[in-house]
Amino acid sequence: MISKTVRKLAHIRQSVRNEGLQQYLRRLYNLGQYRRYLKLALYGFKLGQKKAFIEGIPLCLPARKAGITEELILYGVHEPFATTAYKGILRSGDTILDVGTNIGYYLAVADSTLSGQCILHGFEADPELAQIAATNCKQLQAQCSVHHTAIADQCGLATFFVSDVSNWGTLRKRDELCLSGEVQVKTTTIDSYCEEYGVIPTVIRMDIEGGEILALRGARQSLKQVRVVFLELHCAFLDDEELAEIIDILATAGIGRGLWFSRYYDWPWSRPEAAKSTASRGSIEELKADVCAKKYKVMTVFAIRN
């Protein structure tokens, strides 16, 4: 415990040296963790709830409190800036592949936004979360299915690393993701799934903690039909060649422009203006430049067909 505190203080001192005290304090103010702690002090007793209402839809929650559970119980929203952008991009009749569906938050967002006028396919490798998402999808108006499957670059079996934080599980082992165990899971590719079930996706949403390179390698054919790829891009978990390859795959499929911003400030307790201030719009070439420069450790990307 002492060593952890010492490391934390050393990290703070280094941040102040690198940024300057004024910039460091401004960043903390925008991040808004103090708002989170105040909310926890006042309403933390609610964290024992087993359900949260998202877009008016009751969603069951995982037993793990670290992760998305706290946000949904105390604020009713996850990634508020990304959620708003996603709502604005959806169209009635969309067929959506939701990769790393967790408990089905973004399935519920799409269902509510489109009044059920969409088809939803969820994929979740974590056993507990896949079961919860399957239960939650029964509450939706839309045609919806959830598969206990990991999306990768080949079909077969793979080791999935489970995290103490419910939305940090991954196919690519990273110690900083608070990993607590591992399970063997079935894998498929987006192209294989779409061919087998006759699916023509118009939207792909993906948040799989560095596994996005694997998923996109297995989606080259399907991407040719997709209007939007909503991607949480973990620049800190991917090497330079992988980051360039991700954008090249999108560009080759005909994706020509995008909206992107830092994930760092996209929390319910952060100042809304903070995430917006990091946003950029531009061509796929401009997106590639920011991604390959690792402008942000984690980027939220909406890659859009012209």
Same-domain pairing of 197 and 262:
yes
Task: Let me know whether 45 and 11 are in one domain.
Answer: no
Quick one: 22 and 37 in the same domain? no
pLDDT of residue 56: 92
Crossing angle (nearest 10°) for helices 105-113 and 127-137: 20
Strand pairing class (228-234; 203-206): parallel
Are 18 and 45 part of one and the same domain? no
Residue 257: beta bridge partners?
Answer: 283, 304
Report pTM.
0.94
Q: What is the CATH number of the domain that holds 255?
A: 3.40.50.150
The predicted-structure confidence for 133-186, as pLDDT tens digits, reads as follows: 999 999 999 999 999 999 999 999 999 999 998 889 999 888 888 888 999 999
pLDDT for res 2: 57
Could you read off the pLDDT tens digit of each residue along the chain, which spans 306 residues?
556 677 778 877 888 888 888 888 899 999 999 999 999 999 999 999 999 999 999 999 998 888 899 999 999 999 999 999 999 999 999 999 999 999 999 999 999 999 999 999 999 999 999 999 999 999 999 999 999 999 999 999 999 999 998 889 999 888 888 888 999 999 999 999 999 999 999 999 999 999 999 999 999 999 999 999 999 999 999 999 999 999 999 999 999 999 999 999 999 999 999 999 999 999 999 999 999 999 999 999 999 998
Do 51 and 12 lie in one domain? The reply is no
* Domains contained in the chain, number: 2
User: Which residue, among 192, 197, 179, 191, has the nearest Cα to 126 in the 3D structure?
Assistant: 179
Check whether residue 149 and residue 42 sit in a common domain: yes
CA-closest candidate to residue 82, choices 118, 65, 106, 100: 106
The CA R_g of the chain, rounded to the nearest whole Å, is: 19
pLDDT value at position 141?
A: 97
Token code pair at residue 94: 């969309």
Give the pLDDT confidence score for residue 234 in this predicted structure. 96
- Do 11 and 145 lie in one domain? The reply is no
Query: Same domain, yes or no, for 275 and 165?
Result: yes
> At which residue do the structure tokens 């079935």 appear?
186
Q: Tell me how far apart the alpha carbons of residues 225 and 245 are, in angstroms, rounded to a whole number.
A: 19
| Nearest CA-CA partner of 274 in 141, 65, 81 | 81
Q: What is the pLDDT of residue 67?
A: 86
Q: Please tell me the predicted confidence (pLDDT) of residue 1.
A: 52
Indicate if 19 and 89 belong to the same structural domain: no
The domain of 130 spans 32-305
Residues 56 and 18 in one domain: no
- In this structure, are 243 and 299 located in the same domain? yes
> What residues are paired with 304 via a beta bridge?
228, 257
Regarding whether 135 and 120 lie in a shared domain, the answer is yes
